[in-house]
């Protein structure tokens, strides 16, 4: 059996950081095992390739949730990256750290050492921020953060002015000292290419003699003996089942769906579930797979009186021009995220903190087949969209394996809209979108509200539409959450699995609660802080 100091399971957003940092010194022997393959492909490197990888089974786990009562019994499509860089190789590139109180709430709820002042140094450590170093930003770190405000579509200005006319402030930097307001999203790109933790940390690490990365290798089980994780069993590309051992630690970085799945398959999970499926129990860990949180979003589509990105990208000559521009200058719509305008706002004055995240996209794709986000295949007429989600939903779902078969996808129960607060906030967001669209700077360019359409007016109709059309913004988290109590959390504040030695979880599954914004930057931070803890404790 091969033996290493550390085995990193999953080379996604956090796993790539962990592999890079653990191997930095050149001393630790690190094995990285990833179910997907190389990320050196055109559609991953080009930002707008998001529309392609969104539904590409070669790089995507393409999960379907269980039917969810509150969303009219619908199953939802949940893409997750299955490739080096993980979901960070297929995401929409928005750079958002979350709001400082998110982390102070983490610390207050038992994640000691994870308050805002504790995590800020790790955000600064990985940042190579376009505006240089400040007390809130880092410079010279591995991850490039780009300001695309100068390249945004002119309609974004109408959106910002509409929000201002309603009394919302404008901010230059959602990750700066004034996160509240509307503004333009910074994105993770470098010289027009996608910036992922794989390219920033893992590819450099792969040049070191002490790192081995095995792709197309699906981890089947974490091996445990005498109260300790000792290694892993995985299926290699030939189909052979292979084992490897870890002298210091197995570090599980499979993400919020696969990390709890792998723990349960390994006998670390709720005892009743293990017994039901005939899995030999290693540890009764009732919180594994529980506490699932996600952001539930809805888009409102508007037919426009003026040109939108659709006019540029729909015609074949527009695609050709955008492609040539990208190839020659690495600029233009292909170098951007689909989301340009954004916001962190309060739905009403009674909210103590921003409770809604907004998106303005100067394109639309209502006629794309199978409702995919095909930016390269937008509607053949001028249109744009506005969307929102609650920042901190209180509904919690769960994930559990259906059988002992490690290749079978787990059952995902989102349990959206299961609290009154979440339902009320959905309604608050809907009314805000309608108010934005009615404000002069947007109203004067809107021909008509295409979806849901002006016929829907009562709260009942609008909520019904929300239940029918809302969907994930791809932020599942919290299924192996940090906490002090082994009955309600999976890892302790140093990311050690409660009750077992030699096993840590370092990915978005450890968030105690979902952060107010997008979850990639917080996952990078978890990778940085988790690696620092590993090196302090075992290095």
Ligand X SMILES: Cc1cc2nc3c(=O)[nH]c(=O)nc-3n(C[C@H](O)[C@H](O)[C@H](O)COP(=O)(O)OP(=O)(O)OC[C@H]3O[C@@H](n4cnc5c(N)ncnc54)[C@H](O)[C@@H]3O)c2cc1C
Which residue's C-beta sits nearest to ligand X?
Answer: 12
Q: How far is the CB of 307 from ligand X (least distance, A)?
A: 25
CA angle 142, 147, 151 (to 5 degrees): 135
Site for ligand X contains 11 (CB under 6 A): yes
Site for ligand X contains 10 (CB under 6 A): yes
Contact criterion met (CB below 8 Å) for 18 and 41: no
Which of these segments, 281-289, 344-352, 424-432, 519-527, binds ligand X (CB under 6 A)? 519-527
Residue 422: which region, alpha, beta or left (left: phi > 0; alpha: psi -120 to 50)? alpha
Tokens, residue 219: 């981890």
Site for ligand X contains 383 (CB under 6 A): no
Contact criterion met (CB below 8 Å) for 381 and 366: no
Is residue 475 flagged as an active site residue? Answer: yes
Single out the residue of 65, 91, 297, 387 in contact with ligand X (rule: CB under 6 A).
91
Kindly state the DSSP code that residue 67 receives in the 8-state scheme: P
Cis peptide before 215 (omega within 30 of 0): no
Single out the residue of 143, 508, 533, 534 in contact with ligand X (rule: CB under 6 A).
508
Contact criterion met (CB below 8 Å) for 347 and 180: no
Site for ligand X contains 14 (CB under 6 A): yes
Residues with Cβ within 8 Å of 308's Cβ and at least 6 positions away in sequence, in order, are: 153, 155, 362, 363, 364, 382, 383, 384
Contact criterion met (CB below 8 Å) for 341 and 375: no
Q: How far is the CB of 84 from ligand X (least distance, A)?
A: 7
Which of these segments, 107-115, 247-255, 276-284, 291-299, binds ligand X (CB under 6 A)? 247-255
- The C-alpha atoms of residue 21 and residue 528 are separated, in whole angstroms, by 8
Restricted to residues 184-243, the positions that interact with ligand X (CB under 6 A) are 218-219
- The C-alpha atoms of residue 326 and residue 335 are separated, in whole angstroms, by 7
Single out the residue of 96, 143, 156, 399 in contact with ligand X (rule: CB under 6 A).
96
Q: Which of 137, 295, 475, 498 is catalytic?
A: 475
Q: How far is the CB of 185 from ligand X (least distance, A)?
A: 8
Binding-site string for ligand X from residue 48 to residue 67, where x marks contact by CB under 6 A and - marks none: ------x-------------
Single out the residue of 82, 295, 481, 504 in contact with ligand X (rule: CB under 6 A).
82
- The C-alpha atoms of residue 514 and residue 518 are separated, in whole angstroms, by 9
Site for ligand X contains 340 (CB under 6 A): no
* Residues marked as catalytic: 475
Residues in contact with ligand X by CB under 6 A are 9-15, 33-36, 54, 79-82, 86-88, 90-94, 96, 218-219, 253-256, 258, 262, 474-475, 507-508, 518-521, 523
């Amino acid at each position: 059996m091969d033996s290493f100091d550390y085995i990193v399971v999953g080379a996604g957003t956090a796993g790539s950081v962990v592999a890079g940092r653990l191997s930095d010194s050149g001393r630790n022997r690190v094995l990285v095992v990833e179910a997907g393959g190389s990320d050196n492909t055109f559609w991953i490197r080009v930002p707008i390739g998001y529309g392609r990888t969104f539904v590409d089974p070669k790089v995507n786990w393409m999960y379907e949730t269980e039917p969810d009562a509150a969303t009219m019994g619908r199953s939802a499509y949940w893409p997750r990256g299955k490739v080096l860089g993980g979901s960070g190789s297929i995401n929409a590139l928005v750079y958002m750290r979350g709001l400082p109180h998110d982390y102070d709430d983490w610390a207050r709820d038992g994640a000691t050492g994870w308050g805002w002042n504790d995590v800020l140094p790790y955000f600064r450590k990985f940042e190579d921020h376009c505006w240089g170093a400040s007390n809130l930003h880092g410079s010279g770190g591995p991850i490039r953060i780009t300001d695309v405000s100068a390249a945004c579509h002119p309609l974004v200005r109408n959106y910002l002015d509409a929000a201002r006319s309603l009394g919302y402030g404008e901010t230059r930097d959602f990750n700066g000292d004034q996160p509240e307001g509307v503004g333009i999203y910074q994105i993770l790109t470098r010289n027009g290419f996608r910036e992922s933790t794989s390219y920033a940390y893992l590819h450099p690490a792969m040049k070191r003699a002490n790192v081995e990365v095995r792709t197309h290798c699906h981890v089947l089980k974490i091996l445990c003996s005498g109260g300790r994780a000792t290694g892993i069993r995985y299926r290699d590309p030939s189909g052979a089942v292979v084992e490897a051992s870890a002298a210091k630690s197995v570090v599980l970085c499979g993400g919020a769906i696969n990390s709890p799945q792998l723990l349960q398959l390994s006998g670390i999970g709720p005892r009743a579930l293990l017994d039901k499926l005939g899995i030999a129990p290693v540890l009764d860990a009732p919180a594994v797979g529980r506490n699932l949180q996600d952001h539930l979003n809805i888009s409102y589509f508007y037919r426009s009186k003026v040109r939108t990105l659709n006019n540029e990208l729909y015609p074949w000559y527009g695609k050709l021009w955008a492609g040539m521009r990208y190839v020659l200058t690495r600029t233009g719509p292909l170098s951007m995220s689909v989301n340009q305008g954004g916001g962190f706002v309060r739905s009403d004055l009674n909210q103590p903190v921003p409770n809604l995240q907004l998106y303005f996209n100067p394109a639309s794709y209502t006629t794309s087949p199978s409702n995919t986000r095909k930016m390269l295949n937008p509607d053949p007429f001028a249109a744009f969209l506005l969307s929102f989600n609650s920042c901190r939903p209180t509904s919690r779902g769960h994930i559990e394996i259906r059988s002992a078969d490690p290749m079978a996808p787990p059952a995902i129960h989102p349990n959206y809209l299961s609290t009154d607060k979440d339902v009320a906030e959905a309604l608050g967001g809907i009314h805000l979108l309608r108010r934005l669209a009615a404000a002069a700077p947007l109203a004067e360019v809107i021909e008509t509200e295409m979806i849901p359409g002006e016929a829907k007016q009562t709260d009942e109709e609008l909520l019904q539409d929300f239940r029918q059309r809302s969907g994930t913004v791809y932020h599942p988290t919290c299924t192996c959450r940090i906490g002090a109590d082994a009955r309600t959390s999976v890892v302790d504040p140093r990311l050690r699995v409660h009750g077992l030695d030699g096993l840590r979880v370092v990915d978005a599954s450890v968030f105690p609660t979902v952060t107010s914004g997008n979850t990639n930057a917080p996952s990078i931070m978890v990778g940085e802080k988790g690696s620092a803890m590993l090196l302090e404790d075992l290095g």
